[in-house]
Chain A
């Protein structure tokens, strides 16, 4: 995951602009320490997909979800990837450690590991994109529970289907927090490329399109 951008880390730390020299140095040093301690793992399975965009009803093959935003994201897709990814418990240990004894570094660890799990998911999706392209599929941007009206509770279903507890060590708390905290569950729609010619699916900007949080500072 050499693709984690320092600017991204600084942004997660609440810095506007590219960050001053010491903040950037802090982020770099944290990323280095995180790289030794993160144990990225993922689990992914594909399922047949049926989308009723008008009703906002999505049948993911293994369970059904009501969500207009998800239906919009998956419109035109016939197949869906469910995946879970995590950096493991290492980053949480470092966040806890520095949160106790050196809070500036704790903040930086939090930010850098957040940037790192995003980068890891980007990397995974890029791999699948080219893999499925060879089968004639185009790929939509990934969409996670909690985006728009795609309910956070759907994480429970995704974790059940993927058995994330034993495949990648990810469990959910009663409040639906994923543990380890630097974990992601998401769905990715696949469409027959010839059906949607001209569709520029999966550009980075697309990730925010279905989200209702219009004032989100991270919105691209």
Chain B
């Protein structure tokens, strides 16, 4: 073994050995519960150095600095020691051990921050990157040989750590993740999703540590070996912990550990070591099994994979559907929603596409005159917070694309690069940095080639250029382009021929967005459906389409059944049974009406829906009364149907004042009297919201100006991240025609104050769930009183009482959502009729 070799060279040549547990040895040496292990770098450096040295003497190649929990969250300047001291001392110990042993690579060890990232938790992605970046820079200053990110159970946090490592050093990066016995991350992701993300971001080796013993790890190790083209690291625990007296002991001894690890070495892992409970003796026996063992050859896996935090979607010969609906081109309502930052509209679209069977959702928010970068980031974050499908980030604005790829949780599909130099120069660096599969449009400076020869030439050019960045063909999805047949009758044939040849000659994967083919023709869905079948039969791997279009979905499911891709034709049968029975002459299929109901996967029986035994039969009754009854009873689908009918007979304002508001008032009163409970009130609110959606669209279509609305700010206070109560209040206020500025959850007092002043808002509603966060509610009120003495403040939440609300200076304690509506009516004056501006 030669010490001059870099760790990358060593990794390429032989099996490397990591060290074993640190924390468990420190506990054995007297580390107390609650004591930060990293302080021992300063307090007991001889112990830390001793452990490192024992591992090096046992034969380990890599020692991890005692910096697992060393980050700005735990060492923040208020603590006794600051971060540079802790990390500096850790390296001093490691270097001393390496000097004494005469060999060893020093890895800067990075563990999880201990905080969950948004939207699950409270830590912002960029803050997380910054915390890791601080430590990485210290590692570089102190002469680390590599960066070892370990024990990660959240892929989003892992992405933040890898980004920090890559942006602040050129050091090799090893990364390992904790899996459960079923091979899932604690946050739900699969081994394959983790590997795809890490490979995409260009780490040097990836694997698994902690959580399990070497025996239980076997399955997940095999899975990683099957999907990773990188060296695989395995650092298990010494089995499971148990208590003996006051001591924690692990149940797998050194010999048993070495036996189990030998099986994993046989499987082809490249880096082996230990985690909790393993000792220098475990490592010594493991070393005996590693010495003299030849390193296996790691094959390149040509899998095209895009991921979300939960799902790894492989693009194979079994084609995938990319939902195209979230794209404002030609969609007035979506344009308006995006301009108004009405994310609920977008979220409903995303959920509808998911329900309709899309595997990946395209997200494009390009509109003239908007800040596309901010909007795309917001849209991607919001969709990812409630939909688990992988996304295709779609923008012609490079900055927007890069910003969205950065915060995306997973390995995205990216739309798109093309053969123009300018495009490749902009896009490939982003793909290299953030990872991703990129859609490559087969066009260049000379336009769209009108032959398959020309398109293949562009494809080859793109492949060559991508290779310069280390981006392989597996991460490129060729868009074979589809021109309209009404202007060139051979256009579709060229597309099909290109698909065939990309598959056959380049071994590449293909995609098309095919609705363009029928432009200018009548009954476009007929042509689209037929072309879809032809393209799929030619070998198309992915199709960008409207999953609400019956002809397209019929084509897709029939193709899969006919091509032997649908076992027992089960998917086809399920589709046919669940699809609408009535042919859809409009073809587009996607409801023109916003479909908030689309979100609810399993439907709650809507007794008014089909046959309504329980609801008084409203046939023959006044349609306005029928609508009122349906809304009040919370029958969403019936309300939507009735409001459409009624709008044919009455003006929108008459419908609002004659049916909607009376229904809401009636339900609100019933709730206050205890005749109706919260779920019923909310079903009514949801029905009203759906009906208002129809009314709003009708008004927009007929050019009626927006209703004049009083505005209210709602926020869950800083530190509190539960927001169902706030959301309930919001829906009710909106139904009462108030405009709600929803600042979300965990909102700092300053942001609330700033928004009140900027938007000149007269009423604020604050929510807090926990005793621990009521203090930040008090702080918010104090700041509001100082900056905006006239603003009226309502508070609510599980732990509040009327007395406490008074004590902290709120104007009103609202025990429930209706109380907030009542208070708003006091503040703004109750208007029983909505007015037009």
What residues on A are CB-neighbors of B680 within 8 Å? Answer: 20, 22-23
Given contact pairs A97-B351, A103-B686, A171-B114, a sample of 19 additional A-B residue pairs in the complex whose CB atoms are under 8 Å apart: A22-B679, A41-B186, A45-B241, A88-B188, A92-B120, A96-B385, A98-B599, A98-B600, A99-B727, A103-B685, A104-B683, A104-B686, A105-B600, A157-B34, A167-B211, A173-B121, A175-B770, A176-B770, A177-B769
Complex contacts, B634 vs chain A, CB 8 Å: 22, 104
Residues in chain B near residue A92, CB distance under 8 A? 120
Which one of B180, B246, B721 contacts A173 once the chains associate, using CB atoms below 8 Å? B721
Interface residues of A in 25-55 (CB under 8 A from B): 25-26, 29, 32-33, 39, 41, 45-48
Q: Once bound together, how far apart are the Cα atoms of A21 and B607, in whole Å?
A: 10
Inter-subunit contact B677/A179 (CB<8 Å): no
Most A Cβ at <10 Å: residue of B122, B154, B386: B386
| B186 with A88: CB separation less than 8 A | yes
Docked Cα-Cα span, A10 to B193, in Å, equals: 38
| A residues in contact with B683, CB < 8 Å | 22, 26, 104
In the complex, chain A residues whose CB is within 8 Å of the CB of B388: 93
Do residues A89 and B604 form an inter-chain contact, with CB atoms below 8 A? Answer: no
Residue of A nearest to B717 (CB): A175
| Tally of chain A residues near chain B (CB < 8 A) | 62
Q: How far is the CB of A19 from chain B (nearest CB, A)?
A: 8
Q: A96 — which chain B residues lie within 8 A by C-beta?
A: 119, 385-386
CA distance A181 to B770 in the complex (A): 12
Residues on B with C-beta less than 8 A from A62 are 33, 246
* CB nearest neighbor in B for A88: B188
**Can you give 5 A-B contacts (C-beta < 8 A)?**
A97-B599, A98-B600, A160-B34, A165-B153, A177-B722
Contact A93 B386 (CB under 8 A): yes
Whether, in the assembled complex, B243 has its beta carbon less than 8 Å from a beta carbon of chain A, the answer is yes
Are B723 and A168 in touch, CB under 8 angstroms? no
Asked whether, in the complex, the Cβ of B614 is within 8 Å of the Cβ of A21, the reply is: yes
Across-interface contacts of A61 in B (CB, < 8 A): 243, 246
A contact residues around B599 at 8 Å (CB):
97-98, 101-102, 105
Contact indicator per residue, chain A 8-25, by CB within 8 Å of chain B (1) or not (0): 001001111001111101
Q: A13 and B679: CB pair below 8 A?
A: yes
Q: Is B59 an interface residue (CB 8 A)?
A: no
Which B residues are in CB contact (< 8 Å) with A32? 602
Contact of A166 among B211, B614, B772 (CB under 8 A): B211
Residue of A nearest to B241 (CB): A45
- Cα(A171)–Cα(B73), bound, Å: 14
Judge whether B241 and A169 touch: CB under 8 Å.
Answer: no
Among residues of A, the one whose C-beta sits closest to the C-beta of B687 is A104
Docked CA distance A64–B723 (Å): 34
Residue from A107, A167, A171 within 8 A of B679 (CB atoms)? A107
Q: B-facing mask of A170-204, CB < 8 A → 1, else 0?
A: 01011111011100000000000000000000000
Report yes or no: A29 in contact with B719, Cβ–Cβ below 8 A. no
A169/B153 in contact, CB under 8 A: yes
| Residue in A23, A93, A105, A161 whose CB lies within 8 Å of B677 | A23
Chain A stretch 47-99: residues in CB contact (< 8 A) with chain B? 47-48, 61-63, 88-90, 92-93, 95-99
Can you name the residue of chain A whose Cβ is closest to the Cβ of B776? A175
Please measure, in the bound complex, the distance between the C-alpha atom of A89 and the C-alpha atom of B310, giving whole angstroms: 10
A45, B242: Cβ atoms closer than 8 Å: yes
- Contact in complex: A165, B114 (CB < 8 Å): yes
Establish whether residues B677 and A14, one from each chain, have CB atoms under 8 Å apart when the complex forms: yes
When the two chains form their complex, are residues A14 and B772 in contact, meaning their CB atoms are under 8 A apart?
Answer: no
CB pair A171 B121 closer than 8 Å? yes
List residues of chain A with CB within 8 A of the CB of B604: 22, 25-26, 29, 105
B151 near A: Cβ within 8 Å?
A: yes
Query: How far, in angstroms, from A16 to B770 measured CA to CA in the complex?
Result: 24
Q: Which residues of A contact B679 (CB under 8 A)?
A: 10, 13-15, 19, 22-23, 26, 104, 107-108
Of the candidates B243, B721, B727, which one forms a contact with A177 in the assembled complex, judged by CB atoms under 8 Å apart? Answer: B721
Cβ of B605: which chain A residues have Cβ within 8 Å of it?
Answer: 22, 25
Q: Is B216 an interface residue (CB 8 A)?
A: no
Within 8 A of A (CB), among B665-687: 674, 677-680, 682-683, 685-686
B178 touches A89 (CB 8 A): no
A110 in the interface (beta carbon within 8 A): yes
Mask, B592-603, CB within 8 Å of A = 1, is 000011011111
Complex contact B596–A102 (CB within 8 A): yes
User: Known: A41-B180, A97-B351, A100-B727. Contact between A171 and B678, CB under 8 A?
Assistant: no
**How far is A62 from B245 in the complex, measured between Cα atoms in Å?**
10
B763 close to A (CB within 8 Å): no
User: How far apart are B227's CB and chain A's nearest CB, in angstroms?
Assistant: 22
State whether the Cβ of B624 lies closer than 8 Å to any Cβ in chain A.
no
- Please indicate the chain B residues that have their CB under 8 angstroms from the CB of A20 in the complex: 677, 680
Measured CA separation A46–B247 after assembly (Å): 11
10 smallest CB-CB distances across A and B, nearest first, come from A169-B186, A104-B682, A175-B719, A97-B386, A101-B599, A14-B678, A175-B772, A15-B677, A104-B683, A99-B727
Chain B interfacial residues counted at CB < 8 A? 70
Determine whether A138 belongs to the interface, using a CB cutoff of 8 Å to chain B.
no
Does B101 reach chain A (CB closer than 8 Å)? Answer: no
Contact A101 B596 (CB under 8 A): yes
Shortest Cβ distance from A95 into B: residue: B724
Closest CB-CB distance, A134 to chain B, in whole Å?
18
Instruction: For the complex, give the distance between the alpha carbons of A22 and B385 in Å.
Output: 28
- What are the interface flags for A135-163 relative to B under an 8 Å C-beta threshold, 1 for contact and 0 otherwise? 00000000000000000100001001100
Which residues of A lie under 8 Å from residue B188 when comparing CB positions? 39, 88-90
Give bound CA distance, A92 to B344, whole Å: 18
CA distance A72 to B354 in the complex (A): 52
Query: B211, A169: Cβ atoms under 8 Å?
Result: no
Residue ID in chain A nearest B119 by CB atoms: A96
B33 touches A63 (CB 8 A): yes
B728 in the interface, Cβ–Cβ < 8 Å?
A: yes
By the criterion CB–CB under 8 Å, are B184 and A39 in contact? yes
Q: How far is the CA of A218 from the CA of B341 in the complex (A)?
A: 40
- Asked if A29 meets B602 with Cβ closer than 8 Å, knowing A14-B679, A96-B385, the reply is yes
Tell me whether B677 and A16 are in contact (CB under 8 A).
Answer: yes
- Residues on the A chain within 8 Å of B34, using CB: 63, 157, 160
In B376-425, the 8 Å CB interface with A consists of: 385-388
A167 CA / B242 CA spacing, docked (Å): 13
Asked if A166 contacts B121 (CB within 8 A), the reply is no
Assess whether B808 is interfacial by the CB under 8 Å rule: no
A175 and B720 in contact (CB under 8 A), knowing A22-B634, A33-B602, A97-B599?
Answer: yes
Judge whether B210 is part of the interface by a CB distance below 8 angstroms.
yes
Chain B nearest CB, measured from A49 CB (Å): 11
| Chain A: minimal CB distance from B356 (Å) | 15
Q: With the chains together, A102 CA to B596 CA distance in Å?
A: 7
How many Å lie between the Cα of A30 and that of B808 in the bound state? 37
Please tell me if the beta carbons of A180 and B120 are within 8 angstroms of each other in the complex.
Answer: yes
Chain B 572-617 residues near chain A, CB threshold 8 A = 596-597, 599-605, 607, 614
The smallest C-beta distance from A13 to any residue of chain B, in angstroms, reads 5
Closest to B209 in A: A166
Q: Give Cα distance in the complex from A169 to B596, angstroms.
A: 32
Identity of the chain A residue whose Cβ is nearest the Cβ of B309 in the assembled complex: A89
Residues of chain A within 8 A of B727, CB atoms compared = 99-100, 103, 106
CB distance from B41 to the nearest CB of A (A): 19
Question: Which A residues touch B451, using CB under 8 A?
Answer: none
User: A29 touches which one: B242, B603, B722, B769 (CB < 8 A)?
Assistant: B603
Cβ-neighbour of B243 out of A10, A45, A97 (below 8 A): A45
A171 to B154 Cα, complex, angstroms? 11
Of B34, B116, B351, B614, the most chain A CB neighbours within 10 A belong to: B116
CB closest residue in chain A, given B601: A33
Given known contacts A29-B603, A102-B599, is B686 in contact with A166 (CB within 8 Å)?
no
Render B102-122 as a binary contact track against A, CB cut-off 8 A, 1 for contact.
000000000010111001111
| Proximity bits, B495-513, A CB within 8 Å = 1, else 0 | 0000000000000000000
Residues of B within 8 A of A181 (CB): 722
Q: Across the two chains, which residue of chain B brings its CB closest to A108?
A: B679
Q: How far is the CA of A199 from the CA of B433 in the complex (A)?
A: 64
**Shortest CB distance B837–A (Å):** 28
